[in-house]
């Protein structure tokens, strides 16, 4: 059974940082991409950052230079370091495990999803 368990969300002030973590089990983690998506109320889910099996990365324009995605293969985990947070970053953040090896930000490329962790940024 595939499980993705996120942690690290919370409420912060604008300009502060958070680090999200996602632990993966029951899945061939090493061969496939991992990604972070987010969904704000009333908005569509969007791909924030993705990391391929070769550690190549892709980011949404809105987070470039502020967010960093990384993976630790020894721990079967993926992380999202979020710096200089803005109120518009407020959303539920989801970890996703993909069926492709390249860093895709498309939802359709991901087969497994975590339960989500809430990030709230106040001004």
**What pLDDT shows up at residue 21?**
98
pLDDT in single tens digits along all 123 residues of the chain: 999 999 999 999 999 999 999 999 998 888 999 999 999 999 999 999 999 999 999 999 999 999 999 999 899 999 999 999 999 999 999 999 988 999 999 999 999 999 999 999 999
Task: List, in order, residues 6 or more apart from 119 with CB less than 8 Å away.
Answer: 9, 10, 12, 18, 20, 38, 82, 85, 89, 90, 91, 92, 93
Question: In 3D, which of 52, 111, 122, 61 has the Cα closest to residue 87?
Answer: 122
Looking at residue 113, its pLDDT comes to 96
Q: What does the pLDDT read at residue 72?
A: 94
Task: Give the β-pairing of 10-13 and 117-122.
Answer: parallel
Q: How high is the pLDDT of residue 28?
A: 85
The helix/strand/coil state of 52 is coil
């Amino acid at each position: 059974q595939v499980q993705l368990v996120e942690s690290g969300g919370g409420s912060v002030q604008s300009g502060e940082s958070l680090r999200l973590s996602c632990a993966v089990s029951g899945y061939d983690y090493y061969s496939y991409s991992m990604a972070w998506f987010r969904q704000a109320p009333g908005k569509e889910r969007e791909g924030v950052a993705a990391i391929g099996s070769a550690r190549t990365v892709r980011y949404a324009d809105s987070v470039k230079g502020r967010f960093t995605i990384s993976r630790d293969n020894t721990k079967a985990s993926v992380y999202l370091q979020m710096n200089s947070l803005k109120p518009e970053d407020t959303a539920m953040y989801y970890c996703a495990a993909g069926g492709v090896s390249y860093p895709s930000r498309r939802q359709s490329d991901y087969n497994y999803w975590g339960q989500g962790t809430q990030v709230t940024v106040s001004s």
